[in-house]
Amino acid sequence: MIIFSFGHFRVGLRFGFLAVLFFMTQISRSDWGLWCVFCCILHELGHLAAYALAGSPPRELWLEAGGMRIVPREGFLPPAREALVLLGGCFANFVSAAALFFLRCPRAAGFHLLLGIWNLLPLAPLDGGQLLRLALDLLCPAAAPRIAAAVHWGCAALLAAAGLLLFRETGNFTLLLTLFCLFFSGK
């Protein structure tokens, strides 16, 4: 583990991130692995910008096997500001996608669009799952954990089935690998 400090902000780099980064760049002879990493970095920069807009800069950023994890300062954000922070990453991807489509870079734009959509899925570790839980906590706090869990596992089951079908039909295992990293990375 490597830690960099920038004033009161720390960035941690774990071995798993480097391993996944290496794997993503080696799995294909094309540059798609690097585009995926670049899209993820812009996504996290969107969250960091949203934290700044919300008036609560984060304490730490961790680069891990399952992605990047931002550790907020102590205390809770009001729900509207928390929603702003959660949407910041996807917003950055959607703005990047629009700009890249305008610049006639459809492949790069597609990566940003897909990452933004992926992160809005209602899986607990993703922005969409956290937004769902935030909304449910406001609308029906007593039932929020059960509803969020049911939606999470229903979505996970559908994605796992799609991943198995994709692997069986094409030999492509990236969806299964992504789900594995997402659920077993400790996020």
Domain boundary at 119, 145, 166, which? 119
Sign of CA dihedral 21, 24, 30, 36: negative
Angstrom CA distances, 60 to 33, 89, 138, stand at: 25, 16, 27
* Between residues 132 and 15, the one the model is more confident about: 132
What's the pLDDT score for residue 40?
84
What is the number of domains present in the chain? 2
Residues 134 and 100 in one domain: no
Q: Are residues 1 and 87 in the same domain?
A: yes
Same domain, yes or no: 74 and 102: yes
95 vs 35, more confident: 95
User: pLDDT tens, 77-107?
Assistant: 889 999 999 999 999 999 999 999 999 999 8
User: Are 127 and 111 contained in the same domain?
Assistant: no
Output 43 or 67, whichever has higher pLDDT: 43
Residues 111 and 28 in one domain: yes
Domain extent, residue 134, equals 121-187
Angle at alpha carbon of residue 86, lines to 89 and 175, rounded to 5°: 65
Give yes or no for residue 53 having a pLDDT over 70: yes
pLDDT for residue 131: 97
Q: Are residues 95 and 129 in the same domain?
A: no
- Which of the listed residues 119, 137, 163 is the one where a domain comes to its end? 119
What phi and psi values does residue 28 have, to the nearest 5 degrees? -135, 150
Residues 12 and 96 grouped into a single domain: yes
Strand 2-6 to 67-71 pairing: unpaired
